[in-house]
Each structure stands twice: as C-alpha cells, then as structure tokens.
C-alpha cells in the first residue's frame, strides 16, 4: 500500500532560486491530501502529474501568504476541470472569509461544495478521518496562530497465512480472521493466532510548519516515533538569533527535535531566500541526526509497510 509524500514547494516567503513556497501532497493508499498551498502550487501539481481533482482534503497551517496564496487559483482550476466532489479545507479562522470574498468580487460560482473546518492552534485535537487515515493538529509557536498536522494510518487488518487457510473457507471466515476473530468452519474452531500474522505497521507523518524551536515540549510527545517528520529549517545555526526573532528554526534545531522525538526520518524545509546552496542546512542537521534530507521539489519520500 502506498504512503508517499511529494514536495511541491519548500521555500520561505517568496519564490526564489527556482524554488516555490511551501506545498506538498501526501498520498495514502491512492487518497490524496494537500498540505499548505503556496504560490505556484497548481503549476507544480501539473508538473509532477498529480491530478488536482483527486485531492480529497487540503490542510493549511497558517495564514501567512507563502502557505496559502496558491489556493484561490487552485480552487478555480478545479472548477474549470469539472470537479463535482466536495472539497474539505482545514485552516485557521479567517480563510473562509478570504475565499468567500474573492469568490464574491470575481462573481465566481464553484460547481462543487467547499467545507471549511477551523483548526485549533492551542492544543492537539482530532481534526479529520476517513477510511484510510486520522489527522490531528500539532500546536506550533509562530508570529500568528499556526499548527502542524499529524497523519496516522488507521489500524490495519491482520495478514492471512494463505497456505494454511482451508480452500473452502467462505469470505465471511476470511474477513473474521483478518479482523482478529476466531471462526467456526466444518465444526472446527479456527483459532485466529494460528491462521494470521500481525498486521502491517501503522505509518505516520508529521508536518511541522513555521515554528520557533520547541525542545522538551508537548510537540515532542505528539510526534514521538513518527516514520517521517517535516520540520522547518529556515536558517542555518549561525543565524540562530534571527531564527528566534522571527519565530523560526535552524537546521540544527530541526535535527535536535527529530533526535529527541526519535523519529525515523527528518525532512528539512521552508528555506530562507538567503540560501541559494542548501547544503549547509543539511550538513548541520546530519551532524545531529544523520537520517535527514532536504525537501527538494518533485522528490517523493516513501514509507514502507
């Protein structure tokens, strides 16, 4: 089953050095979730062959423009491309007013419904679920209300030991065993533990957008042990004071968060325009947390079952 994160943009503030502002798409078992929608997001979707009308929900971390200025154009293009399925927008208070105003004064009518769900930036709360995944907010500390998002696969069925399953076992029996139940077949009780393996692990992804460095905090508990962590790394550590002043983090600080939370892999993003060459950010992170990578546009990060 697929669990893939594709980077569409990872720059801070403005497009620069061939990089777009923050935007990415998480694909879980062929269901697509967009996270932030900076300027140029739809261009990147087309470039990387992600079908825009397959996006089921969009999650906006905060209302600084580099995280949502691409949204209005994307919504309009979805309409022009014939979307009829509802779209769910999870964002801070204010986005609904912004989008409604733009639609009003452009005399635009969408042929699909928008559902706005306000996020909570003060504490981690349940936000969204479907048959594939649950999503909780991750409180962050930035200049304006901001939160990240924790995506976690739902509990999976157990795996059948196919060579042990009776040929004539009905579908109901297979389903029962996969659900962890015993099943009576031909006057015999098939013990679940004898016919199944443990389910594949529940994969997880934590998106930590703009935030000041938050060591030994509630953040660590929320993201502990995730398979994949995206954490902003706006500056190198020689600009630590500037990072604190602007409520951002450094590459080293992102790595320290990954280390403390014992995550499997770290992705650095939200790069300041002062850096044409991003290698110093990666180098300082790897000194602390070796399994780190840069959020390079078009790259896909996969988590195996």
> Is the same domain home to 233 and 89?
yes
Q: How many other C-beta atoms lie within 10 A of the C-beta of residue 106?
A: 10
More confident residue, 173 or 36: 36
Give pTM, 2 decimals.
0.89
Can you read off the two tokens belonging to residue 247? Answer: 């409520």
> Is the same domain home to 146 and 286?
yes
Given a cut of 90, whether residue 163 has pLDDT beyond it is no
Q: How far is CA 106 from CA 78, 92, 100, 170, in A?
A: 16, 23, 10, 58
> Is the same domain home to 90 and 32?
yes
* Mean of pLDDT values over 106-127: 95
Domain end, chosen from 175, 197, 219, is at: 197
Q: In this predicted structure, which of 36-40, 54-58, 69-73, 190-194 has the lowest mean pLDDT?
A: 190-194
Q: How far is CA 13 from CA 68, 106, 253, 273, in A?
A: 11, 26, 20, 8
Given a cut of 60, whether residue 177 has pLDDT beyond it is no
Given a cut of 80, whether residue 34 has pLDDT beyond it is yes
> Is the same domain home to 165 and 50?
no
Out of 66, 130, 168, 277, which one is annotated catalytic? 66
User: By the 8 A CB rule, do 259 and 292 touch?
Assistant: no
User: By the 8 A CB rule, do 263 and 230 touch?
Assistant: no
> Is the same domain home to 139 and 191?
no
Q: Please give the pLDDT value at position 201.
A: 78
Split into its structural domains, the chain has a count of 2
> Is the same domain home to 134 and 230?
yes
Domain end, chosen from 137, 168, 197, is at: 197
More confident residue, 183 or 1: 1
Q: Give 279: exposed, middle or buried? Use CB within 10 Å, 0-12, 13-18, 19+.
A: exposed
User: By the 8 A CB rule, do 267 and 250 touch?
Assistant: no
> Is the same domain home to 144 and 169?
no
Task: Give the CATH number of the domain where residue 102 resides.
Answer: 3.60.15.10
Over residues 221-233, the pLDDT tens digits come to 999 999 999 999 9
> Is the same domain home to 64 and 163?
no
> Is the same domain home to 151 and 164?
no
Q: Which residue range forms the structural domain that includes residue 174?
A: 159-197
Summary mean pLDDT of the chain: 92
> Is the same domain home to 84 and 166?
no
Q: Which residues of 223-262 are buried (b: 16+ CB within 10 A; e: fewer)?
A: beebbbbbbbbbbbbebeeebeebbbbbbbbbbbbbbbbe
Specify whether the backbone of 216 is left (phi greater than 0), alpha (psi in -120 to 50) or beta.
Answer: left
> Is the same domain home to 49 and 101?
yes
> Is the same domain home to 20 and 106?
yes
Q: Please give the pLDDT value at position 174.
A: 65
Is 36 noted as a catalytic residue in this protein? no
């Amino acid at each position: 089953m697929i669990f893939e994160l594709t980077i569409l943009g990872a720059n801070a503030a403005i497009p620069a050095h061939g990089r777009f502002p923050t935007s990415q798409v998480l694909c879980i078992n062929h269901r697509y979730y967009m996270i932030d929608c900076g300027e140029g997001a739809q261009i990147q979707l087309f470039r990387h062959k992600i079908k825009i009308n397959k996006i089921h929900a969009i999650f906006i971390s905060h209302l600084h423009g580099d995280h949502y200025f691409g949204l209005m154009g994307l919504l309009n293009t979805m309409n022009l491309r014939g979307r009829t399925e509802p779209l769910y927008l999870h964002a801070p208070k204010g986005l609904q007013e912004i989008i409604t105003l733009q639609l009003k004064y452009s005399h635009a009518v969408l042929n699909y419904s928008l559902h706005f769900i306000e996020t909570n930036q003060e504490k981690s709360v349940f936000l969204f679920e479907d048959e594939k995944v649950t999503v909780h907010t991750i409180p962050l500390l930035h200049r304006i209300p901001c939160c990240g998002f924790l995506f976690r696969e739902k509990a999976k069925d157990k795996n059948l030991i196919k060579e042990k399953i009776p040929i004539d076992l009905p579908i109901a029996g297979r389903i029962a065993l996969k659900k962890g139940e015993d099943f009576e077949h031909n006057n015999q009780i098939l013990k679940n533990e004898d016919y199944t393996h443990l389910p594949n692990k529940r994969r997880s992804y934590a998106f930590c957008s703009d935030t000041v460095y938050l060591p030994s905090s509630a953040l660590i508990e929320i993201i502990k042990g995730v398979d994949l962590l995206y954490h902003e790394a706006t500056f190198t550590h020689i600009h630590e004071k500037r990072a604190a002043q602007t409520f951002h983090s450094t590459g080293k600080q992102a790595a320290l968060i990954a280390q403390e939370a014992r995550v499997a892999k770290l992705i650095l993003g939200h790069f300041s325009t002062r850096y044409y060459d991003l290698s110093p950010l990666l180098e300082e992170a790897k000194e602390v947390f070796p399994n780190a990578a840069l959020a390079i546009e078009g790259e896909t990060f996969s988590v195996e079952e």
